[in-house]
């Protein structure tokens, strides 16, 4: 993976060379695209690092150009449209200048460049069709076409490499396809309100309205705030993020085939962030469930026997085991525990007469969620001594 110092250098170079001159500030979301070609470069035979650095800079300028163009197309309320259009064109011009120093004027690369531009504008028309007749296959196509600028990085390296390995080239395009779809799914959840304001198709909203209508909700009687809450409470947000994880997993399969370590790390970072987001949703639902139900489940029969109460406790533990074999509890700054709490409960039920199937499921969960033969507080946290000792006891 590219180290932090290299990223800072890239930021500084691009900012001083072009961005400060044009008066454009850098965004936190820019980090992924600072050295985009570098993510794939290790899999291609390109000897000169200075060429890769030029591609990094050109790719970043082109990315910011497309970002400005996206805002013009998506945001119907954008002020100073002429200024944004000028900046977008200027950044693309700077990008082309750099690419020309690498490829010259008559290289076959420019045919691919033209295709990526056509793909991007094709996405705009397809997105309108998508709003009229939504389908996941069409949604995938739009997400891929909208990310056409990212594929320019792969095009550059393929053209420059001596080997001209078409299978490798296609594997990276497929990996990029699935990665782009996964990112778009996550973005739709995060940008739901903004997309609706700009009358843009949003998969999360489409899924929410479709699912809620099937469950008897009258969408026209719900405001956006209520719909957003139901997206999380009814598991729609989790379902969308799991769909994104499947896309990231497919992306990683193609990347692993080509042993693209840097690109794989980017995919795995997105996977981790998505899993953490799912954990946060589950934490919220667990708190909500405890607030409205568990706190009211009181045993009022003071005459009941110890054996009867023990059976009630066993039933409670069994009923609250998750499908994956875990139990969730103990909310802290690190979130809710699923590993620590599962190990803790196993420690307390393994020495009594208890349902063996429940115990086997819990053990299976712990076996699947170890990190280098150690365990953490939950599946999103690094391992620690306390959690590990409970599992091993």
pLDDT single digits (tens) 181-223 = 999 999 999 999 988 888 889 999 999 999 999 988 898 888 8
- 287 within 8 A of 274, measured Cβ to Cβ: no
Is 93 among the domain residues? no
- Does 306 or 14 have the greater pLDDT score? 306
| The pLDDT of residue 238 | 92
Is 34 among the domain residues? no
Is 314 among the domain residues? yes
Is 362 among the domain residues? yes
CA-based torsion, 123, 129, 135, 137: positive or negative: negative
Domain that holds residue 328: 298-392
**Residue 381 DSSP label:** S
Residue 158 predicted with pLDDT over 80 = yes
Split into its structural domains, the chain has a count of: 1
pTM of the predicted structure, to 2 decimals? 0.72
Please give the share of the chain, as a percent, with pLDDT higher than 90. Answer: 32
Encoded tokens for 83 = 């200024």
Is 305 among the domain residues? yes
**Among residues 245, 127, 263, which one has the least CA distance to residue 186?**
245
Burial 107-120 (b: 16+ CB within 10 A, else e): eebbebbeebeebb
Is 225 among the domain residues? no
Is 172 among the domain residues? no
Is 152 among the domain residues? no
CA 330 from chain center: how many Å?
27
- 103 within 8 A of 159, measured Cβ to Cβ: yes
| 36-45, 103-112, 231-240, 287-296: the lowest-pLDDT one | 287-296
Range from 180-184, 225-229, 336-340, 348-352 that averages highest in pLDDT: 180-184
Interval 223-263: pLDDT, tens: 888 898 889 888 899 999 999 999 999 999 999 999 999 99
| The pLDDT of residue 10 | 39
Interval 284-303: pLDDT, tens: 666 666 555 555 555 566 55
């Amino acid at each position: 993976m590219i180290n932090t110092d290299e990223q800072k250098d890239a930021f500084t170079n691009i900012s001083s060379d072009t961005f400060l001159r044009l008066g454009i500030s850098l965004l936190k979301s820019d980090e992924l695209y600072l050295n985009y070609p570098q993510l794939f470069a290790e899999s291609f035979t390109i000897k000169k690092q200075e060429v890769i650095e030029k591609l990094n800079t050109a790719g970043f300028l082109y990315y910011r150009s497309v970002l400005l163009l996206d805002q013009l197309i998506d945001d119907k309320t954008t002020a100073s449209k002429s200024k944004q259009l000028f900046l977008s064109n200027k950044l693309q011009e700077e990008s082309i200048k750099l690419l020309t120093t690498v490829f010259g004027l008559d290289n076959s690369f420019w045919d691919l460049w033209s295709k990526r531009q056509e793909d991007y504008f094709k996405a705009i028309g397809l997105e309108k069709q998508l709003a009229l007749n939504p389908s996941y296959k069409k949604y995938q196509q739009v997400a891929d076409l909208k990310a056409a600028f990212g594929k320019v990085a792969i095009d550059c390296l393929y053209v420059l490499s001596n080997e001209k390995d078409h299978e490798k080239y296609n594997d990276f395009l497929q990996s990029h396809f699935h990665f782009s779809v996964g990112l778009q799914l996550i973005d739709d959840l995060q940008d739901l309100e903004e997309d609706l304001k700009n009358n843009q198709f949003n998969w999360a909203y489409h899924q929410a309205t479709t699912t809620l209508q099937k469950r008897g909700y009258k969408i026209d009687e719900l405001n956006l705030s209520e719909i957003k809450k139901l997206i999380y409470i009814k598991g729609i947000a989790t379902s969308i993020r799991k769909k994104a994880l499947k896309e990231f997993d497919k992306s990683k399969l193609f990347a692993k085939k080509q042993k693209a370590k840097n690109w794989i790390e980017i995919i795995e970072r997105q996977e981790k962030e998505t899993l953490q987001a799912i954990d946060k949703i589950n934490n919220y639902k667990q708190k909500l469930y405890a607030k409205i139900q568990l706190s009211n489940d009181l045993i009022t029969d003071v005459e009941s026997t110890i054996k009867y109460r023990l059976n009630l406790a066993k039933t409670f533990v069994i009923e609250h085991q998750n499908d994956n074999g875990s139990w969730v509890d103990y909310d802290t700054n690190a979130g809710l525990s699923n590993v620590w709490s599962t190990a803790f409960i196993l420690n307390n039920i393994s020495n009594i007469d208890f349902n063996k199937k429940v115990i086997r499921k819990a053990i299976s969960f712990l076996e699947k969620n170890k990190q280098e033969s150690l365990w953490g507080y939950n599946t999103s946290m690094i391992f620690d001594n306390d959690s590990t000792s409970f599992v091993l006891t």
